Amino acid sequence: MEKMKLLAEWKYEPKKIERGYAGRTLYVNIGDRSFKEKPVTEDMKEKFVGGRGFGLKLLWDAVKDTTKWNDPENELVISGGPLCGITQYPGSGKCYTVFISPLTEQTYDSNAGGYFGPLLKFSGWDALEVQGKSDRDVILFIDGDNNKVEVYESPFEDINAVTITEALHEYFADSEEDKRNISVASTGKGAETTNWGCLNMSFYDLRRKTPRLKQAGRGGGGTVFRDKKLAAIVVRKRGVGPASNNPADISVLQRTGLKLHKEIRDLDDQQNKMRKVGTPHLNEIMNEYHLLPVHNYKFGQHPEASKIHSKIFEKLFTQGIPDGCWYGCSMACAKAVDGFELKTGPLKGKKVTVDGPEYETCAGLGSNIGIFDPEWIIEANFYADHYGIDTISLGTGLAFVCECYELGFLNKDITNGLELKFGSKDDLMELIHRMGRGDDKFASIVGLGIHKMKKVFAEKYGAPFEVMEKIGMEGQGIEVSEYVPKESVAQWGGYFLTLKGPQHDEAWLIFMDRVNKQLPTFEDKAEALHYFPNFRLWFSLVGLCKLPWNDIEPADNVVKYKGIEAAKVPEHVQNYVDLFNAVTGKSITKEELIVQSERVYNFQRVFQLRLGKGTRRDHNIPLRAIGPVFPEEWEVRTEYYDNELKAAGIDSKGLTTEEKIRKLQEYRLSQWEQLVDAVYKRRGWNKNGIPTVETLKRLGIDYPDVVEVVRKHSKPEDNWEE
Amino acid sequence: MIRVNGEEMEWRPGLTVKDILEAKRFVFPMIGVWINDKPVPRDKFETTTVNDGDEVQVIHMISGG
Ligand code: SF4
């Protein structure tokens, strides 16, 4: 590769990490190519902890109430958190990217594995804030070895992820071994042509001799990245080791880590087999329990689901390689298919390593679009990553398109010759390539996302908006991830009463609610919708991966603890408390851990409000998410749905299926409203879903500008009656 | 008759925890079972029988991908 043209350079003082923090953040304006460092105050650590918390705080200070996703003042803030980069405990290399999303037009945060977060911190920065827009494609390089930041003009014609990541690992490394000290954040052409742009964060796999890509998939962060004309961000830091975080008590990290390594070694094969199959262990489980999305979430099961059984992926994934996406992750679920020969697209005939597919991709780019062909799924997975497109939004978006096509709302004239029925493998793959090329008008409309597609399909092609409103699986502007929520009231909240839209990273309560029957009342559901979102948010503050929390559990967990307590995996929660204290030198309790999250949860809620969202109106739910829309959905589960009507005290004798569907919808919508009320009350919000000033005070986030936003939007009639 | 997660289920002599899980198609590997509030270790599912009238709780330890 030719020498890149340097456009700007900035030198900084080296900084030793103290107890998990560098104590400062890096600001880069990619528009005027200016740089500065900002201090991390004690208050910032106390109230926002790190990671997503830092991202939200920095973004809050950077934008106006009116800022849109493509305004120059929108930022991409990437931050790991105080535990990010420890090597003793599995799952400690995550970083979080925060930005205003092109899909939801409010703040979004998305996490990725790979080495980016740790290497950024060990280069001396708790967060990287990128603002402004460049006039040309650039590569931002953080050189943690020589303590400088550089901006290069990008020489790349092809900015797709695999191409650019391979080239930049090569360019910035002195040797094959040195490639491990580099991480590249990139996206691809599809992030320009769609709102579904993802970020790929790399780590170099020395055994395979290739970079691997882990995605911050959701929310359109890649689209913001390309809007700023970033081609890549590279970070390099050599000499990272077990003490790089300079923890207060390293022995606790070693002890706690060893305990979990042992659990994983002894129990993973009997539990989720994460080391062999990764998250696709869920493929058959979800199908068995009617939760696998099939044909745009119409159904939860399909006879051909056995073709995407994890046993099949187990054979396709290369075995015997420790697939951790950061040092020390013995959970090692970052599975990959090696030597995969691409059958289509610009790299046709090339043999590649494909990261994944994960469960979500198997379902989104599989069952949900009526495809049960593992090789097709792997190919689609590869190209989605390469083009920088989130596989989840892509899968759910394509499922919506297929249903619209089958309902006759779209035809080949509209789709420029593509027959987009469920299972139309060749034409669906071609549509993905058209998104990756950006040369097709229909593909561009699809890439707007379901929320906007509904409007365009109605206005341009006369498709009935009210039907699309029922079947379009999105909330707050973003596509639902890959679980059928219609049979669990609590999961309606887990998906649709969320900060940023229906993603499964807040609460996944389907089993607890529907199968285990542990949440019988609305208050029980609200309690779970308080605890689990807050507990899970904590991972995003400190730089940890959620999977080692409960995809492995101590052998005696279900003997020692009962019910919901067991579901919390108390010993692992204690590990997290111990790890936090051992790194930072603080002494929080498990209750304080939840309060740390609750602060950021409420701060983000107020942030959405500040940007013109964040009220009850924005917690919308499509009818397909709460029950059947069409008779065929009812008729595959007649017994279940008839019983549901009966349990609701509705006499269904003599009713047609359509009438029964209407009755159930009415009933479930009233349940939805009850759920919303119960959850808002539990969270300390008013009737309109706005945190009260008392809640802000209780959490210590009653900063004047935060309180002002709440006051401005709160009305007396939204207070709860005594 | 026994109750499994609050729902009635036919009882027969010799009915084991494993039989219940199979009948209900509870195939997830990380499951906790309590009979009348007493935990049953996973390696005893096959050999533990339930009595008529027992209250069985089956908890899936799962919270999504
Ligand atoms: S559990 Fe999997 S995703 Fe999480 S850090 Fe480990 S390898 Fe990465």
In a domain, A28, yes or no: no
Report pLDDT digits (tens) over A450-480: 999 999 999 999 999 999 999 999 999 999 9
In a domain, B44, yes or no: yes
Is residue A191 over pLDDT 80? yes
3-state secondary structure of A211: strand
Cis? peptide before A357, omega within 30° of 0: yes
In a domain, A450, yes or no: yes
Q: Kindly give the residue spans of alpha helices, DSSP state H, lying in chain B.
A: 17-24
The Å distance, Cα A628 to ligand 1 centre, comes to: 36
Report pLDDT digits (tens) over A430-452: 999 999 999 999 999 999 999 99
When pLDDT is cut at 50, 70 and 90, the band that residue B64 belongs to is low
pLDDT value of residue A217:
95
> Which of A9, A35, A5, A4 shows the shortest CA–CA distance to A148?
A9
Mean pLDDT, range A419-429, rounded to an integer: 98
In a domain, A423, yes or no: yes
CATH number (domain holding residue A365): 1.10.569.10
pLDDT value of residue B63:
67
Task: Say whether B59 and A566 touch across the interface (CB within 8 A).
Answer: yes
Q: How many domains does chain A divide into?
A: 1
Q: Name the residue at shortest CA distance from atom 2 of ligand 1.
A: A333
Beta-ladder partners of A150? A9, A141
pLDDT value of residue A406:
98
Is residue A340 over pLDDT 80? yes
Q: CA-CA distances (angstroms) from residue A669 to A624, B35, B41?
A: 12, 36, 40
Task: Say whether B60 and A532 touch across the interface (CB within 8 A).
Answer: no
In a domain, B32, yes or no: yes
Q: Which residues from B are below 8 Å from A when comparing CB atoms? A: 5-7, 25-34, 37, 39, 41-42, 57-65
Task: Say whether A511 and B60 touch across the interface (CB within 8 A).
Answer: yes
Report pLDDT digits (tens) over A495-518: 999 999 999 899 899 999 989 899
State in Å, rounded, how far the first CA of chain A is from the last one.
70
The shortest C-alpha distance from A455 to chain B (Å) reads 31
> Residues enclosing ligand 1, CB less than 6 A?
A 90-91, 113, 324-326, 329, 331-334, 545, 547-548
Question: What rounded mean pLDDT belongs to chain A?
Answer: 97
Q: How many CB pairs under 8 A join A and B?
A: 78
ipTM for the predicted complex comes to 0.90
The Å distance, Cα A306 to ligand 1 centre, comes to: 26
Using an 8 Å Cβ cutoff, are A187 and A167 in contact? no
pLDDT value of residue A567:
87
Report pLDDT digits (tens) over A356-408: 899 999 999 999 999 999 999 999 999 999 999 999 999 999 999 999 999 99
Instruction: Tell me which residue has tokens 């079972």.
Output: B33
Mean pLDDT, range A619-648, rounded to an integer: 96
> Which of B45, B36, B44 shows the shortest CA–CA distance to B17?
B45
Burial class (CB in 10 A: 0-12, 13-18, 19+), A711: exposed
In a domain, A268, yes or no: no
Is residue A559 over pLDDT 90? no
Report pLDDT digits (tens) over A4-16: 999 999 999 999 9
The residue segments making up the domain with residue A302 are 279-316+335-479
In a domain, A274, yes or no: no
CATH number (domain holding residue B10): 3.10.20.30
pLDDT value of residue A86:
97
Is residue A3 over pLDDT 60? yes
In a domain, B38, yes or no: yes
Is residue A722 over pLDDT 80? no
Using an 8 Å Cβ cutoff, are A391 and A218 in contact? no
Is residue A163 over pLDDT 60? yes
Report pLDDT digits (tens) over A224-247: 999 999 999 999 999 999 999 999
pLDDT value of residue A558:
86
In a domain, A420, yes or no: yes
The residue segments making up the domain with residue B6 are 2-60
- Tell whether A563 is within 8 A of chain B (Cβ): yes
Q: How many domains does chain B divide into?
A: 1
Task: Say whether B57 and A483 touch across the interface (CB within 8 A).
Answer: no
Task: Say whether B62 and A285 touch across the interface (CB within 8 A).
Answer: yes
Mean pLDDT, range A341-359, rounded to an integer: 97
In a domain, B65, yes or no: no
The Å distance, Cα A547 to ligand 1 centre, comes to: 7
pLDDT value of residue A563:
83
C-alpha to C-alpha distance for A260 and A266, rounded to whole angstroms: 10
Question: How many residues belong to chain B?
Answer: 65
Mean pLDDT, range A601-613, rounded to an integer: 98
In a domain, A638, yes or no: no
